[in-house]
Amino acid sequence: MAKDSRLILDPLADNNPITIQVLGICSALAITAELEASIVMSISVLFVLGVGNVVISLMRNIIPSKIRIIVQLIVVATLVIIVDLVLKAFAYELSKTLSVFVGLIITNCIIMGRFEAFALGNGPWRSFLDGIGNALGYGIILIIVGFFRELLGSGTLLGFPVLGDPIEKTGLYALGYENNGFMLLSPMALIVVGIIIWVQRTKNKALIED
Amino acid sequence: MGLKQNLHNFKEKNKDKKWLPGFNALFTFLYMPNETTHNGTHIKAADDLKRTMNTVIMALVPCLIFGMFNAGYQHYLAQGLIESADGFLGASFWTWDNFVIGLWKVLPLVIVSYGVGLAVEFIFAIIKGHEVEEGYLVTGMLVPLIVPVDIPLWMLAVAVVFGVVIGKEVFGGTGMNILNPALTIRAFLFFAYPTWMSGDKVWVHGAVERDQAIAAGQNLDAISGETLLGAYAQNSSLAGIDYWDMFWGLIPGSVGETSKFLIIIGALFLIFTKIGSWRIMLSTVIGALVMGLIFNGVVDAGWIGESSKFYGLMSVPFWQHLIIGSILFGAVYMATDPVTAAQTNKGKWIYGFLIGFISIMIRVFNPAYPEGVFLAILLMNVFAPTIDHYVVQGNVKKRMKRVKVKTA
């Protein structure tokens, strides 16, 4: 169905959770200093949001609306604990870098937002697509920010030397670039997100609100 | 037909060309525009934005020229090639050799600062289709004065692009910015490239190069490029520098901020021409002195011992804080920026006082940032609208009370 594909495509650009709805900013600023952490965070959110949306959608007719927030929290918490334990078991170093932010996926506004706004009112398949789409929209921004911050801040990509000091040490080539320490600080992540928002709204003027 | 008429005709002919704002910007450097308003309020004033900016630049030129001489002087002095100049008119200071080194190092900074900054302004003016704004004229002059002489030019260029775009253009250009663009540029450099903006090498031309040569195995003496603040922060002091040297500015530091004497002359000039606010300058100095006095009191009361890492800077006599760092430069040229400062008179006192107060606090409590002036001014830039709001509200309240008393 043509409409279903929009569920995935919209959040990638014109209804992006970070740049348009401005949700989930905290984790986007905190863990994007390295590309690897951004990717793992995106995958974690992808899992939590995709599965969570389906679970909530399946239960949507039996959840009493008075306690729905609590039910939603329990679902997210369960999924996040699974993610956390998996990371600790198979990627211990990385789970230390992400530290508390894996746990904080629970409070990520995007997830509760999608549960409330979509999964409670739609069937499992459409909820699944919506969850995947929003998680991808979140992930794409995280990866863009993480890419620029790691490249310009540490001179590496996924740990491989590309620019600046790290590549000079390997002796392959030297560009005279010096790592920009500011890129590793959180304020610069905010500015990078801001620049993405700027570029996006310049391209699509319909997104500019007063 | 004179040149002015020719240029004006040229302008009329190309009225709807995209690059016209660029032409206008250069044209108004030479002549006042020929247009007059036809309706509404008529104000005849010679000091438009460009004249105001030019006045500030005139006040900065002595600092720049002194900075050039000082760059060469520190370079030769650190290598022991010349005698220490005794006083402002010392024979070994105002020499051609010093000036050549200074010109060689400082002029590129000025050119990069203006070239890159104005290029960004022109691009934005053409995209947005408005006139080129003059705001960058002063910023471009301030930037070379607040960086170390040996800063690589490409870093300066990156920082200028960042400062002008993120610090100013995203808010809507000159007059709309909440942060001082020159200080945004410095803050960017400081956090992005700390090794080039702090430490004990970068302040004297040649010290970094010499270090690299020594590391490469050449048998040379290292050049020390330590600033006074850096030395004090480590509980030591620099030999051979007395208070007059600090006052005249014969010390290592950022290019233009060392000579307190010339800064005071610039301040008097700005106050006399009514461009700079004396309230802000005075209250900043008072704020710094008060904080200095508090710290002196703490030391006198014996609350901290000599082993404390704050002892070095805390025990500096309070008045000396004014001459060892760049607080005067910040107070006169940075804090008074009319766009980012507080607008109300009462607000200006509070704003200036807090700048001085916080500058010295950062200076003492954070040895990693021995020069806290730029951080303090940026912080207060953010709070200036809030200060103004409460001053205005307070005034409104006071007047409302008066009304009530009369009606009662």
Q: What is the pTM of this model?
A: 0.84
Amino acid (one-letter) located at A73: L
Instruction: Please give, rounded to a whole number of angstroms, the shortest distance from the CA of B214 to a CA of chain A.
Output: 19
d(CA B337, CA B137): 13
Q: Give the one of B154, B166, B192 whose C-beta lies nearest to A181's C-beta.
A: B192
Domain positions in chain A are 2-154+181-197
DSSP state of B375: H
Q: Which of B385, B375, B269 is nearest to B332 (CA)?
A: B269
> Does B5 score more than 60 pLDDT?
yes
Distance to chain B for A154, nearest Cα, Å: 11
pLDDT of residue B234: 64
| Residue B42: band (very low, low, confident or very high) from pLDDT cuts 50, 70, 90 | low
Residue B333 identity: Y
DSSP for B140-196 reads HHHHHHTS-TT--HHHHHHHHHHHHHHHTGGGTSTTT-SS-HHHHHHHHHHHH-HHH
Residue numbers in A near B154 (CB within 8 A): 176
Which of A79-88, B227-236, B333-342, B343-352 shows the lowest per-residue confidence on average (mean pLDDT)?
Answer: B227-236
DSSP state of B307: T
| Residue B129 burial (CB count, 10 A) | 9
- Quick one: average pLDDT of B67-77? 86
> What does the pLDDT average to over B26-37?
60
**Neighbour-count burial for A40-79, b at 16+ CB within 10 Å, e otherwise:** bbbebbbbbbbbbbbbbbeebeebeeeebeebbeebbeeb
Region A130-152 average pLDDT? 90
Q: Which residues of A fall within a CB distance of 8 Å from B169?
A: none
Q: Among the listed ranges A23-32, A165-174, B125-134, which one has the minimum average pLDDT value?
A: A165-174
Among B107, B113, B136, B128, residue whose Cα is nearest residue B25: B136
| Closest among B197, B199, B201, B149 to A178, alpha carbons compared | B197
Higher model confidence: residue B131 or residue B185? B185
Which of A152, A178, A193 to probe by mutation at the B interface, max B CB count within 10 Å?
Answer: A178
Residues of chain A with Cβ-Cβ distance to B166 below 8 Å are: 191, 194
Closest Cα to residue B313, out of B358, B355, B360, B353? B360
Average pLDDT in the B319-342 region? 87
pLDDT at B392 over 90: yes
Q: For Cα atoms A45, A57, A127, give the angle at the middle one, nearest 5 degrees.
A: 55
Please check whether residue B250 is in contact with residue B73, taking contact to mean a CB–CB distance below 8 angstroms: yes
* Minimum distance, in Å, between the CA of residue B211 and any CA atom of chain A: 18
Instruction: Measure in Å the smallest separation between the Cα of B384 and chain A Cα atoms.
Output: 21
State how far the Cα of B336 lies from the Cα of B384, in Å rounded to an integer.
12
Contacts of A185 in chain B (CB under 8 A): 191
Which is nearest to A24 in space by CA: A99, A120, A134? Answer: A134
Residue where the block lists tokens 């190069």: B209
- Helix (H), strand (E), coil (C) string for A159-205: CEECCHHHHHHHCCCCCCCCCCHHHHCHHHHHHHHHHHHHHHHHHCH
The answer, yes or no, to whether ipTM is higher than 0.95 is no
pLDDT at A78: 92
* Interchain pair A194, B170: CB under 8 A: yes
Residues of A with a Cβ under 8 Å from any B Cβ are: 176, 178, 180-183, 185, 191, 194, 198
Residue B212 in this model has a pLDDT that exceeds 90: no
| Helix, strand counts (H, E) of chain A | 10, 2
Task: Give the DSSP per-residue string, B280-305.
Answer: HHHHHHHHHHHHHHHHHHHHHTT-S-
Q: Which neighbouring-strand residues pair with A156?
A: A161
pLDDT at A14: 80
Indicate yes or no: CB of A185 within 8 angstroms of CB of B191.
yes
- Higher-confidence residue of A96 and B1: namely A96
Of B243-257, B265-279, B298-312, B388-402, which range is least confident?
Answer: B298-312
Please answer whether residues B28 and B50 qualify as being in contact, where contact means their C-beta atoms are separated by less than 8 angstroms. yes
AA identity, residue B42: H
Helix/strand/coil for A156? strand
Mean pLDDT, rounded, for B315-329: 83
Nearest CB partner across the interface for B191, out of A178, A182, A194: A182
Residue B402: pLDDT band by 50, 70, 90 thresholds? confident
Give the C-alpha separation, A151 to A158, whole Å. Answer: 9
Under 8 Å between Cβ of B298 and B316: no
Instruction: Find chain B residues with C-beta within 8 A of A181's C-beta.
Output: 191-194
pLDDT digits (tens, 9 = 90+) for A42-89: 998 999 999 999 999 999 889 888 898 899 999 999 999 998 899 889
Whether A194 and B191 lie within 8 Å, measured CB to CB: no
B244 vs B222: which has the higher pLDDT: B244
Nearest C-alpha of chain A: how many angstroms from B223? 23
Nearest neighbour of A178 by CB, restricted to B166, B188, B193 = B193
pLDDT at B156 over 80: yes
For B114-128, write each residue's pLDDT tens digit: 999 989 988 888 887
pLDDT tens for each residue of A171-198 = 666 666 778 888 888 888 899 998 998 8
The crossing angle, in degrees rounded to 10, of helices A109-117 and A124-154 is 160
Indicate yes or no: CB of B194 within 8 angstroms of CB of A181: yes
Which candidate from A176, A182, A194 shows the least CB-CB separation from B192? A182
Query: Can you give the pLDDT at residue B236?
Result: 61
Percent of chain A with pLDDT over 90: 16
